[in-house]
A and B are shown apart, each in its own frame.
Chain A
Amino acid sequence: MGLVKWARIKSPWVLHFAIGGCNGCDIEVAAALTPRYDVERFGILLKGTPRHADVLTIAGSLTRQVRERLLRIYEQMPEPKFVVAVGACACSGGVFQKCYNVYEGVDKALPVDAYIPGCPPKPEAIIDGVVKLLKKIEAS
């Protein structure tokens, strides 16, 4: 395995984008940072800018007004990049399916590498999803 790949897997830099919705998933993502779960001990670092991120986690319901912004952020990420849809709304629209302003999942806007279902998923499920993604990267 190459050095770059090893580095990427050992310490993925994650950008979390809360696109709206009820924020339930965002609270659980934030909780994953707090002492009980403490994702940083797995080397998962949260970054503030797309330009340094390997992984984009998206939580919330994709509405018309956010779509552009989401695409811009995705474009700013360097290759190779990976996308994780956190929560039912990001996966498929969740409870907001058939609302006039909501898309049925973020994969209507960009390619998704991992889906973490739940409404909201518990922090353990979120961590599990990110770890599964890392295994996928490792295998590739």
Chain B
Amino acid sequence: MSEAAFQIPVGPQHPALKEAPENFTFTIDGEYVVDVKARIGYNHRGIEKAAEGRSYIQNLYLVERVCGICSIAHVSTYTQAVEEALNLEIPSRAKYIRTIIYELNRVASHYLWLGLAGHEIGFDTLFMYLWRDREIALNILEQITGNRVTYAAFAIGGVRRDISPQMVENAKSGLSVLAERMKYYKKLCLNEPTVLKRAVGVGVLKPQDAIALCAVGPTLRASGIKSDVRADDPYLVYDEVPFNVVTYDGCDVASRVLVRCDETLVSISIIKHALDHLPDGPIRVKAPRIVPPAEVVSRTEAPRGELIHYLRSNGTDKPERLKIRSPTLGNIPSICKSLIGGFVADIPIALASADPCFTCTDRMAFVNVSNGKRWVWTKEQLRRYSLKWYQQN
């Protein structure tokens, strides 16, 4: 099986007929991108509307599935919102356990992302290694919560399962391996010429653009902006656990890779600290079903960036309004901007560097102003074009 033939089976296959909408339309001139328009109707499911018809407890399971990769971020932000509306303080032990699960999910997410980024630039061996190692994080999560991907771990009022001393030991040894491996992958990225060629100076997002276009997460921090919800607007135990906000000044794909590598290491140290300092006590308090009228803005730092939930309650057991803004949406204007003036062949990795949700970026339309041609490619077709282009240039 050759490298070029390998495909990660996510995202739809094949543009079928002209009616299907494109998520991105690129106006290009020869090999350069001149303009980018986004339209992301692909995955609209009507979650916010559905949330109004479900109880707060039912919505726990709905919001967990906004995104499978950072599911816990949505649950965490949501439970925080409901608990604030209830004026309900959850036990310390629950906060620590939530932090541990949240950060473990970040580790798994960044590992997943790095593997996908490797795949985008044709480095499938890297993809395999990273996803193999990611299984260590998933094992820890499975031991703690019972599941690998979506956890059903939180309740309104705390967490549902406790962490035993044996789990603490297993987690710590697994985390040490993950840290060692991430240091190795980081060194690899910094020294491997193929990676550097595809990542340095690619997808440049200047700091003033990042701020004006309201970028979030690693995309923002890789342009040198020190902004992280855990530090600016602390929640759970982030005002107690020491950690650094990672920034890099390169403003390019390489910087976004480095930010995520370092963030993984920071997460591992946060988790270890939390495991060592788990307070005693209950893991859950009982929460009333009815939530008095309130308005809450709840924010957390998801793996991809600032996640915000706005909740309006109305004195019943169902929310009046739940608004969710995922970090990926927050980064689309910035990422579009970073593509302009760059090569068409850089689109896959530059898009990937914002860590968007899989299906979000599958179909791409192209309009070449120099010859008037229009066509649609799938992500896979564009990826192949990029690999070939970089082999020849």
Tell me if chains A and B make direct contact, with any CB pair below 8 A.
yes
Kindly report which residue of chain B lies nearest to residue A36, judged by CB atoms: B135
Given known contacts A16-B9, A23-B10, A68 and B68 CB-to-CB distance under 8 angstroms: no
Check A95–B62 contact: CB distance below 8 A.
yes
Question: A26–B9 Cα gap in the complex (Å)?
Answer: 7
We find that the number of chain B residues with CB closer than 8 angstroms to chain A is 45
Q: 20 A–B contact pairs at CB < 8 A?
A: A17-B13, A20-B42, A20-B45, A22-B65, A22-B66, A22-B71, A23-B359, A27-B68, A27-B149, A30-B8, A35-B128, A36-B135, A46-B9, A48-B5, A66-B12, A73-B13, A96-B62, A99-B45, A100-B49, A120-B68
Tell me the chain B residues, 1-58 only, with Cβ under 8 Å from chain A: 1, 5, 7-14, 16-17, 19-21, 41-47, 49-50, 53
Contact check, B148 vs A65: say whether CB atoms are below 8 A apart: no
Query: For residue A28, which residues in chain B have a CB less than 8 angstroms away from its CB?
Result: 148-149
Size class of the A contact interface (CB-based, 8 Å): 35 or more
Indicate with 1 or 0, residue by residue over A77-121, a CB within 8 angstroms of chain B CB atoms. 000000000000000001110111110000000000000000110
- Give bound CA distance, A23 to B47, whole Å: 15
Contact A22 B17 (CB under 8 A): no
The answer to whether B69 has its CB under 8 Å from any CB of chain A is: yes
A26 near B358: Cβ-Cβ < 8 Å? yes
* Contacting pair A99 B128 (CB below 8 A): no
Q: How many A-B residue pairs have CB under 8 A?
A: 140
**Which residues of chain B are near A25, meaning CB under 8 Å?**
68
Which 5 A-B pairs give the minimum distances between C-beta atoms?
A24-B68, A16-B9, A72-B16, A22-B68, A34-B131
Interface residue A133 (Cβ < 8 Å from any Cβ of B): no
Any B CB within 8 A of the CB of A130:
no
Residues of B within 8 A of A65 (CB): 20-21, 41-42, 44
A86 to B68, CA, bound (A): 14
CA distance A17 to B9 in the complex (A): 7
B358 touches A23 (CB 8 A): yes
Most buried by A among B5, B13, B14, B19: B13
Complex CA gap A65/B359 in Å reads: 13
- Which listed residue (A34, A68, A119) contacts B17, Cβ 8 A? A68
The secondary structure that dominates the B interface is loop
Q: Do A36 and B10 have beta carbons less than 8 Å apart?
A: no
Cα separation A122 to B142 with both chains bound (whole Å): 11
B132 within 8 A of A: yes
Chain A residues near B358 (CB-CB < 8 A): 18, 23, 26
Select which of A15, A33, A96 is within 8 A of B45 by beta carbon.
A96
- CB proximity of B150 to chain A, nearest CB, Å: 6
Set of chain B residues within 8 Å of A96, measured between Cβ atoms = 45, 47, 50, 62, 65
In chain A, positions 18-58 with a C-beta closer than 8 Å to chain B are 18-31, 33-36, 40, 46, 48-50, 57
Complex interface: chain B residues within 8 A of A102 (CB): 45-46
With A20-B359, A23-B68, A72-B16 known as contacts, the answer to whether A101 contacts B44 (CB < 8 A) is yes
| Inter-chain contacts of A33 with B (CB < 8 A) | 8-9
B365 interface hit (Cβ, 8 Å): no
Q: State the Cβ distance, B14 to closest chain A Cβ, in Å.
A: 6
Name the A residues within 8 Å of B132 (CB-CB). Answer: 34-36
Q: Given the complex of chains A and B, what is the CA–CA distance between A37 and B216 in angstroms?
A: 35
Q: In the complex, what's the smallest C-beta–C-beta distance from A129 to chain B, in angstroms? A: 15
A35 CA to B149 CA, complexed, in Å: 18
Q: How far is the CB of A85 from chain B (nearest CB, A)?
A: 15
Question: Contact between A119 and B150 (Cβ–Cβ < 8 Å)?
Answer: yes
Complex partner residue of A68 from B19, B66, B380, CB under 8 angstroms? B19
* A73/B14 in contact, CB under 8 A: yes
Contact of A46 among B7, B16, B50 (CB under 8 A): B7
Which residues of chain A come closer than 8 Å to B47, judged between CB atoms?
A: 96, 99
